[in-house]
Amino acid sequence: MTDKLITLEPTVISLYENRKYNTLKDILVTLNPADISFLLEKLPEHSLPLLFRLLPKELAAETFVEMESDMQEILIKGFSDAELKEVLNELYVDDTVDIIEEMPANVVKRILSQSDPQTRKEINVILRYPEDSAGSIMTTEFVELKAEMTIKVALEHIRKTATEKETINVCYVTDNSRHLVGFLSLRTIILSKDDTVIGDIMETNVISVSTLEDQEKVAEYFDKYDFIVIPVVDKDNRLVGIVTVDDALDVLKEEATEDISKIAAITPSDKPYLKTSVFEIFKGRIPWLLLLMISSTFTGLIITHFENALAAQVTLTAFIPMLMGTGGNSGSQSSVTVIRSLSLNELDFKDIIYVVWKEIRVAVLCGLTLAICNYPKLLIVDRVTSSIALVICVALAFTVFVAKLVGCTLPMMAKKVGFDPTVMASPLITTIVDAISLLIYFAVATTILGI
Amino acid sequence: MTDKLITLEPTVISLYENRKYNTLKDILVTLNPADISFLLEKLPEHSLPLLFRLLPKELAAETFVEMESDMQEILIKGFSDAELKEVLNELYVDDTVDIIEEMPANVVKRILSQSDPQTRKEINVILRYPEDSAGSIMTTEFVELKAEMTIKVALEHIRKTATEKETINVCYVTDNSRHLVGFLSLRTIILSKDDTVIGDIMETNVISVSTLEDQEKVAEYFDKYDFIVIPVVDKDNRLVGIVTVDDALDVLKEEATEDISKIAAITPSDKPYLKTSVFEIFKGRIPWLLLLMISSTFTGLIITHFENALAAQVTLTAFIPMLMGTGGNSGSQSSVTVIRSLSLNELDFKDIIYVVWKEIRVAVLCGLTLAICNYPKLLIVDRVTSSIALVICVALAFTVFVAKLVGCTLPMMAKKVGFDPTVMASPLITTIVDAISLLIYFAVATTILGI
């Protein structure tokens, strides 16, 4: 949110409360749709339809797109059929589909009934693609040219059809069966002579995605090739739509949020926190907590098994949390690093030997440093005997080593067998590392202390 | 990486090994620069200069931009002055600056000495901006129009200067002191009549960022307003550069990686994992492990303090890891959710009451569910007495409650006082929650069991 908006917020609220609607309108029309939507959210819900009608038609539609879905729903419910039709006419098909996906069935029905037949057909096509596929985020409003057109004819065609197109910055060239054969940027068109033939100057090395491609892959293409648009083709290489870079930004953000949720052992939700109900949050969190709680039975069993050793040396108990904690942290450092690199496609299963060798060296460095720092602390601060300090430090070094090894290999193997590596971040690794660190601890203790 | 590339890789390698350079060239020139760079990386380093020289000048420069910095360095070192000059001439200023930032001092000196004086001046301007500021990622190659120009004149101006501009999709209008007064898209220009005056049709509500604005903020603007370019102005609102959306994608990705690293208690690095040395990885991880190890002294002290209670009821020890683990997981679920919402600007400090109230309800639901599920398991599987089962379940419910409360409030307070909330994810919260969960456990145990 910009500073300007923060300054405007009280003014807008006070103008609204004093019913100075004309002044309010004069302020709103100078703003960007995203900012208008932000300010309208600050005013009482029931005033929304009134204020929305103050805006000029096109700006109103652009503001509508920027709103949260609950506000859109209020507006649609308040619209007359004619008003709804007007707003829908100004929207791009992909935006309409985004809105439809968030609405209850009766509102969807109204939206479809007020769309013109051609748009309705296009909406239905997009709605049929699986969630998170390129087809589901594409728009069908692109500029299509033919290879035999001259620049002059192409420009005329663009001028005639541009208002309905989501972008004209890149134009696509298809043959008579709508196969994608090339593309060229508006920049190239502008810089070319009127009688140049499109086929002679178009770029024929077209990178496209298939309708069923995962949206994450699409975002990756934008990132890799620095595109602002990417064409979407069906399985016969016929051009069916385009995805614009603003959608790629949304996908990148969404996917990062998903990864972060999974790392924290939460089932991801695509709603913002403030819009998610308590019960939905509970549902996303409780399965993992239960799973982790039950899996910690193993650690309990191990401790019970060594009850006698612990009773003989009660001091050992005090260092169990430190040992398990350090093991868990070391493991998750490795697993999260590897998971992120896998997500960004910087790593692949074939790199596993390289990764393991790197993590082994890091683990030895970390384990030794921790053990060496801990030893004097144990003697001076915790005042344990030197043999117990030795047990703890040796166990610590081994735990870090195993934790990092497990942490880096599990996500890669998960990816190899087709599981989501992100889920390996917390739950499974913590459980395994916890159990292993206890086993190491007691093995070292019984060996060194002879208990 | 595309399937096509995976298929091409062995072909390219075998063509190289059989010295079929001409065929190799014919294949490479049909590809996108990012793909050429990918394939060249698969060939031996010493062949790089040779293969690079096969490419046509412009494609070579575009491929150069896409390469990893270590490959760029090899190439630059192998270039003659004339070759270096040629490549530099084809680069946009922001790309040159990106390259310079990764190079050792002697290579930087060579690059600057081979750039033309105007470019050198521009590079030095960008280099002076603080790291991660809008100024440091902008380019100075934008289209600048004047309000009094007609569309015809503007188009002539664009045609004359376009080849040096990073983008012409959006053109900026400045007054005689270079103050930014408006903008218009190439689309608007194409759709307007030749004699229309720019000042009459330009958009005057310009959203710009200042040179010192954080790059994260810049990426947020792209996301919020769906821009493909954003203008950068100095403190007097004079236009000094533009940032294009491909840079925003990089920033979004980089910032997500940083957040994920911090959540896993790793000091973020901007290098990919495979390019980071063992010692660098070690340096990013060891401070956190040490800090967390030392802070776990508290948990050790608490356990030591209740040594007698534990000796009386050794069974209690077996459930310490489960209790601390569940507490830690519950806390990090809340903290990571809040941290991500803060990063995405969905939450602000003023929402703290709302967040706390929501987390309290989620905590009660989670705590009760866990306690209720755990009770029969403790009796049947772990065969503890009913009073010990009660102690564990009551302690569990309280621990989850406190963990979620601490987890949601700490990041928000950190943000309020200007700290990085992300750092609150793991380290501090785990330590606090660990200590609190033990205190709760022993308090409940001494009360119920009377030990």
Residues of A in contact with B292 (CB under 8 A): 325-326, 329
Best of B37, B39, B278, B291 to substitute, by most chain A Cβ atoms within 10 angstroms, is B278
Q: How many CB atoms lie within 10 A of CB B350?
A: 9
Residue A50 touches partner B, C-beta closer than 8 Å: no
Q: Whose CA is closest to B420, among B255, B299, B218? A: B255
In angstroms, the CA B428 to CA B435 distance is: 11
Q: Specify the pLDDT at position B2.
A: 57
Are B333 and A249 a contacting pair at CB < 8 A?
no
Smallest CA–CA distance, residue A383 to chain B, in Å, is 11
Q: Specify the pLDDT at position A86.
A: 85
Are A341 and B273 a contacting pair at CB < 8 A?
yes
Q: Specify the pLDDT at position A366.
A: 95
Q: Are A411 and A335 in contact (CB under 8 A)?
A: yes
Q: Specify the pLDDT at position B142.
A: 92
pLDDT at A425 over 80: no
Q: Whose CA is closest to A122, among A90, A149, A93, A143? A: A93
What average pLDDT does this structure show over A165-184? 92
In angstroms, the CA A114 to CA A102 distance is: 17
Q: Are A401 and A424 in contact (CB under 8 A)?
A: no
Residues of A in contact with B274 (CB under 8 A): 341, 346-347, 351, 354
Helix (H) or strand (E) segment spanning residue A338: helix A320-343
In angstroms, the CA B437 to CA B391 distance is: 12
Residue B31 touches partner A, C-beta closer than 8 Å: yes
Smallest CA–CA distance, residue A340 to chain B, in Å, is 7
In angstroms, the CA A218 to CA A247 distance is: 10
Are B186 and A186 a contacting pair at CB < 8 A?
yes
Strands (E), B45-187: 144-145, 170-174, 180-185
Residue of A nearest to B352 (CA): A274
In percent, the amount of chain A with pLDDT more than 90 equals: 31
Q: How far is CA B359 from CA A60, A188, A258, A277, A316, in A?
A: 36, 55, 20, 11, 36
Q: Are A178 and B3 in contact (CB under 8 A)?
A: no
In angstroms, the CA B276 to CA B287 distance is: 17
Confidence of residue B361 (pLDDT cuts 50, 70, 90): very high
Q: Are B322 and B437 in contact (CB under 8 A)?
A: no
Q: Specify the pLDDT at position A266.
A: 83
Residue A445 touches partner B, C-beta closer than 8 Å: no
HEC profile of chain B: CCHHHHHHHHHHHHHHHCCCHHHHHHHHCCCCHHHHHHHHHCCCHHHHHHHHHHCCHHHHHHHHHHCCHHHHHHHHHHCCHHHHHHHHHHCCHHHHHHHHHHCCHHHHHHHHHHCCHHHHHHHHHHHHCCCCEHHHHCECCCCEECCCCEHHHHHHHHHHHHHHCCCCCEEEEECCCCEEEEEEEHHHHHHCCCCCEHHHHCECCCCCEECCCEHHHHHHHHHHHCCCEEEEECCCCEEEEEEEHHHHHHHHHHHHHHHHHHHCCCCCCCCCHHHCCHHHHHHHHHHHHHHHHHHCHHHHHHHHHCHHHHHHCCHHHHCHHHHHHHHHHHHHHHHHHHHHHHHCCCCCHHHHHHHHHHHHHHHHHHHHHHHHHHHHHHHHCCCCCHHHHHHHHHHHHHHHHHHHHHHHHHHHHHHHCCCCHHHHCCHHHHHHHHHHHHHHHHHHHHHHHCC
Q: How far is CA B335 from CA A52, A429, B421, B428, in A?
A: 37, 20, 9, 11
Residues of B in contact with A411 (CB under 8 A): none
In percent, the amount of chain B with pLDDT more than 90 equals: 32
Smallest CA–CA distance, residue A31 to chain B, in Å, is 6
Residues of A in contact with B289 (CB under 8 A): 326, 329-330, 333, 366, 370, 400
Confidence of residue A276 (pLDDT cuts 50, 70, 90): confident
Is the ipTM above a cut-off of 0.85? no
Smallest CA–CA distance, residue B138 to chain A, in Å, is 15
Q: Specify the pLDDT at position B362.
A: 94
What average pLDDT does this structure show over A224-248? 91
In angstroms, the CA B200 to CA B183 distance is: 11
Task: Give me the residue from B248, B297, B347 closest to A273, CB to CB.
Answer: B347
Residue B113 touches partner A, C-beta closer than 8 Å: no
Task: Give me the residue from B315, B321, B370 closest to A299, CB to CB.
Answer: B321
At B132, list the tokens: 């991660």
Residues 367-426 of chain B with CB under 8 A from chain A are 369-370, 373-374, 377, 381-382, 400, 425-426
In angstroms, the CA A100 to CA B343 distance is: 28
Using a cut of 0.80, tell me whether the model's pTM lies above it. no
Are B249 and A245 a contacting pair at CB < 8 A?
yes
Task: Give me the residue from A248, A335, A336 closest to B249, CB to CB.
Answer: A248
Are B266 and A207 a contacting pair at CB < 8 A?
no
Residue of A nearest to B358 (CA): A278
Which letter does DSSP use for residue A133 in this model? B
Residues of A in contact with B263 (CB under 8 A): 260, 263-264, 336
pLDDT at A427 over 70: no
Q: What is the mean pLDDT of chain B?
A: 88
Q: What is the pLDDT of residues B102-152, one digit of tens each?
A: 888 888 888 888 888 888 888 888 888 988 899 989 998 899 999 999 999
Smallest CA–CA distance, residue A351 to chain B, in Å, is 9
Q: Please return the burial class of B279, using the count of CB atoms within 10 Å of its CB with bins 0-12, 13-18 and 19+.
A: exposed
Are A366 and B318 a contacting pair at CB < 8 A?
no
Which amino acid is residue B217, in one-letter code?
A: K
Q: Specify the pLDDT at position B427.
A: 62
Which amino acid is residue A311, in one-letter code?
A: A
Q: Please return the burial class of B105, using the count of CB atoms within 10 Å of its CB with bins 0-12, 13-18 and 19+.
A: exposed
Residue B152 touches partner A, C-beta closer than 8 Å: no
Q: What is the pLDDT of residues B9-36, one digit of tens each?
A: 888 888 888 888 888 888 888 888 888 9
Q: Which of A19-23, A93-97, A185-189 has the highest mean pLDDT?
A: A185-189
Best of B329, B352, B381 to substitute, by most chain A Cβ atoms within 10 angstroms, is B329
The angle, 0 to 180 degrees and rounded to 10, between the axes of the packed helices B33-41 and B57-66 is: 70
Residues 116-135 of chain A with CB under 8 A from chain B are none
Q: Whose CA is closest to A159, among B153, B154, B187? A: B187
Which tops the pLDDT comparison, B346 or B388? B388
pLDDT at A2 over 60: no
Residues 251-280 of chain B with CB under 8 A from chain A are 252-253, 256-257, 259-261, 263-266, 272-274, 278-279
Alpha-carbon Rg for chain A in angstroms: 30
